Structure 1
Amino acid sequence: MSRSMLFTLAAVAVLAGCAPLGLYYREGVAVSRMNNDLTDCQVSALQKVPVVKETRFTPLRMVPVRRCDASGANCIVTYELEGGDPYTVDVNKRLRKRVEAQCMTRKGYEWVELPPCPSTVANAAPKSVTTVLPRLTPESCSIQRGGGRWQIVTPG
């Protein structure tokens, strides 16, 4: 693995620990039930708003290229065309996420984002994962526990 790839992976890992935890929340609900409800809503949203792939292309650009002889004295500039690479986009993705959110709202959930806990709180908290969604306060924060698992902590 190249150094730049390792650096990128390390940066992503560090930033992931600094990102807020976003989740559908309903006090007292088991995390496993919330995950099941979310899966049901995702399947329903996919049935109502299916994936529609659209091929798009990156912009075309003219790039100057300087070519010189061995002495470096005689140079010419030519232009080469770059871009035009194809990529696909699911044009229904945003609408599907809205349908998913409506479904979760109908089930009594609201979307919340919890900031990461300060290191003093994270270090003092018992190492566990949240299995039932607790009561939240303005001081509530989250600790990433790896593997998509997390712990919600309310200091005080």
Structure 2
Amino acid sequence: MRKPHRLHLFCVGLLALASCGPLPVYYRSGADQTRINSDTLICEVKSLKEAPVANQIRQRPPIFYPPVQQCHGGNCWTRPGYWVDGGTYTVDVNAGLRARLEQSCMAQKGYQRVELPRCSADQVAALSGKPGSDGLSEASCALRQKNGSTIILPPL
């Protein structure tokens, strides 16, 4: 029974690491944040229409834990083996196609996809009031807003 618990802890840790990694954003020299977010939304909606969500339910194979014999003080007993359900999960089979369609749409509008480091709270405070530059710099970072849009700091 301990192995599935370890798997869950591993997955939570992996998700925590993923939220610290770079943030993919679209960038086009001379485009302001409002325009980038507007074009991104247009391409997201277009790709969703062309490759709608197509969820499939899949099942992992069951796991068998073999019997274990334990002895203590000359007395032995055997804990019988048992099966644990592997569980089910859902896969959107169109997710990859949808992402490619979105990237193609953004490329047609002149954007390139770049990965920027995520902004820390200190960077947000330090960079949010500074005037923008024409292009990305070493100090550029990305911030995901609650509504799902992305901001590149310092402002472009």
TM-score interval, normalised by the smaller of the two chains: 0.5 to 0.7
Distance 1:140 1:153 in 2: 7
Q: Which residue of 1 aligns with 2:47?
A: 45
State the AA in 2 paired with 1:122.
Answer: Q
1:122 and 2:123 matched: yes
TM-score for both structures, normalised by structure 1: 0.68
Report the Cα offset of residue 37 of structure 1. 1.1
Q: Write the deviation string for residues 33-82 of structure 1: whole angstroms up to 9, x where unpaired.
A: 2111111111111111121111111122211354879x893311321111
Alignment of 1:97-108 (within 5 A): 97-108=99-110
Q: Which residue of 2 aligns with 1:135?
A: 135
Structure 2 residues not aligned, in runs of 5+: 1-8
Q: Tell me if structure 2 keeps the 8 A contact 1:129–1:145.
A: no
Q: Tell me if structure 2 keeps the 8 A contact 1:61–1:82.
A: yes
Report the Cα offset of residue 109 of structure 1. 0.6
Q: Tell me if structure 1 keeps the 8 A contact 2:143–2:153.
A: no
Q: Which residue of 2 aligns with 1:74?
A: 76
Report the Cα offset of residue 87 of structure 1. 1.5
Q: Write the deviation string for residues 104-126 of structure 1: whole angstroms up to 9, x where unpaired.
A: 1001110011235799x939934
Distance 1:38 1:84 in 2: 38
SS in 2 for 1:36: helix
SS in 2 for 1:122: helix
Q: How many residues align?
A: 142
Distance 1:92 1:123 in 2: 35
Structure 1 residues not aligned, in runs of 5+: none
CA RMSD of aligned residues (A): 3.9
In 2 relative to 1, CA 128–74 (structure 1 residues): closer, same or farther, beyond 3 Å?
farther
> Bigger CA drift: 57-66 or 141-150?
141-150
1:62 and 2:88 matched: no
Q: Write the deviation string for residues 94-152 of structure 1: whole angstroms up to 9, x where unpaired.
A: 01100010001001110011235799x9399344489x784124x24316486466442
Q: Which residue of 2 aligns with 1:34?
A: 36
TM-score for both structures, normalised by structure 2: 0.68
Alignment of 1:19-30 (within 5 A): 19-30=21-32
